[in-house]
Structures are given as C-alpha cells and as structure tokens.
Amino acid sequence: MGFGDGGTFTQIHVAQYPLNMGREGKEGTSNALAVQLDAQGKVKYAVLACQGHSKDKIIYSKLTDLLPAEVVAEDDPSLERPSDDDVREATDKTRLALEGLTHTKIAAAMPVRCAHYIRYTPFWQGAAYNSGAKQRVIRMVEAQKDPMEPPKFKINKKIPRGPPSPPVPVLHSPTRKVSVKEKNEWKIPPCISNWKNAKGYAIPLDKRLAADGRGLQQVHINENVAKVAEALYITNRKIREAVEMRAQLQKKLPQKQREKKEEHLRQLAQKAREEEVGIRTQAAATDKDEEARKRDRLRYERHKGRQRDRNTARAASYKRSKLQREWERDISEQIALCLPAKNI
C-alpha cells in the first residue's frame, strides 16, 4: 500500500485488491463465519446452528432450552392463545406466500401461444338438443398442470461418460496413386455361407466360388477320370446303336401289321366264296340231319321203356302192383301239380 495505494506489487501500475479486500460492490463468496462473542466474552457456538435458516426462525441450542419452563401465573401473556385477528393475519400471510409461489410456477408453465376459439354447429337442431342453441363457441386452451403434483416418472438413468481424450496422431507417408493391379488385389470378397441365406439374396456363382477359396487350391486330377470318360463314351455309343435299332424295328412293325391284316381279309374273302358255292349242299344236308335226330329220339324212348320194364319185372309183388297202378292212372293230377307225364 506504500506506492500510491497500489497494492503489494508496487512495480505493477494497476489497482490491486489482495483477497478482494477493499473492493467495492462485490461480496465475498466464502462460507466462513465470523467469530461472535456474548456479553461474558464467550464464543457464540449457536451461530453454527443458525446458519442456513431465516432470521426469524427460533433455534433452540442452549441447555436452558431443554429444561421445563416454570409457570409463574395463569394469566401469563406468553401462554395465551392468539386472537382471531392474529390467526386471520397469519392465515392471510401464509395464503399470499403460497399463491405467490404457485402463480410463479403457473406463469412459467403457461404456453406461449394464446387460446383460440372454434365455432361449433351441431348436426341435430332443435329445442331438445344442446339447450336449444344452434351454435356454440369452444375455447381451446392447454390444460394446466398442478405445480404441487409430484413427478410421475422416476428418472435415475446414468449419464454416459464424456468422450475420452483424443488419440495420439499417427503420422503416415503421403498418399500415392494406386495402380489398377493393386486395386484389384485389395478387393476382398465377402464371406458368404454355403449353408445359410437368411435374407434370401441371389448371390452370383462367381462370388460364391470366390468366397469359398477353391480357386487358391491346386487341383489334382485322378488318372481314373480318363477311364471313366472312356467308359461313358463307349456306353453312350452302344446306347445310340440300340436306340437306332429300336427305331428301325418300330418302323417295320406297322408294315408287318398291315401285311397280317391283308392276309386276314384275304382268308375272309376266300371263305365267303366257298360258302356261296356250297349253299345247296348245305340245305340238303339239313333235311337229312332233321330225320336223323327224330330217329335218335325214338330210339332213346324205346330204350328207356325197355329199361323200365326190366326194373318192374325185378321188383317185388307189392312194388310191382303199385308201379302198375301209378303207370295206368290218369295223368291229369300230375298235370295239375305241374309234374311231367310218365309216358314221356
């Protein structure tokens, strides 16, 4: 302070305020309390308990505050109940304080846009609907939120950490132009599975073979492949010869069927000619056959009659008389019973 009230460092020609001492218009931000003494010169430690509270709040921090108070008289003014005016005054102060807090929060939560009005014309018109009104005006405003309402959602999310320090820069050589050969060598085929294709992509065959890596393998052909190829060639030639022979047979088969059909028609014509020539001979033979059948029938009846007579002669006397009676009786009964006659 010796150099024109300039501070500790006198060589710096600027106003200096060590520990903000002497600076006007700025209060200190320190939480340190000044030491206070009572009438007896003792330190007031109750100041620590009063820190952070309003000036009107009573803090009981002494031993005497814990001891019961002695009632001196019944009409002690400290024991009287507050009057109605005092209660009303305290109530008004409390109400005004709460309204001031709520109005501040409501004003902060109010939307910037103003309310807008809508003219509404109902579909049903009449005295029985809408209290007889033909139109109504609706005022649309945003619903107010209760400032005393507790929070509805519990937010305890952990805030992610900030980005770390940037990595150490790596120095590279200057870029040079890439040739076509190097560009083709840097083309790495994607990994394609031969068993799964969940997306259903149409993958070209060359891409699938490139991903398989078969082009990098050295192919070794077995000597038996030539033998198999020769055997397949011989088998193919024999099959072609068999097919050609079968085709020739298929061509000859219709010709043979046609010749067979012509031979059958020729035989039918020959038979028809022979039958046409022998019509008269066949008619004469038919008459002779009819007479022969009559003679055979008569011969058969006579043979059956002789056999019946022999059976009758060999039979007993009572059987013989019964057979003769049945033989000589009228056949009208048997005809009525749908039985054949015995003499037939």
- For the stretch 155-180, pLDDT in tens is 777 888 888 887 777 778 888 899 99
- pTM for this model (two decimals): 0.21
Question: Distance between alpha carbon 255 and the CA centroid of its chain, in Å?
Answer: 68
pLDDT of residue 338: 58
**How many angstroms separate the CA atoms of 289 and 140, rounded?**
128
Q: Does the structure show a pLDDT above 90 at 244?
A: yes
Q: b/e for 161-189, b at 16 or more Cβ within 10 A?
A: eeeeeeeeeeeeeeeeeeeeeeeeeeeee
Nearest C-alpha neighbor of 215 from the set 178, 189, 193, 186: 189
Nearest C-alpha neighbor of 71 from the set 80, 62, 79, 60: 79
Share of the chain above pLDDT 90, in %: 15
Query: Is the separation of the CB atoms in 342 and 326 below 8 Å?
Result: yes
Query: Is the separation of the CB atoms in 23 and 29 below 8 Å?
Result: no
**How many angstroms separate the CA atoms of 314 and 307, rounded?**
11
Q: Average pLDDT of the chain?
A: 79
Q: How confident is the model at residue 1 (pLDDT cuts 50, 70, 90)?
A: very low
Q: Phi and psi (nearest 5°) for 139? A: -100, 115
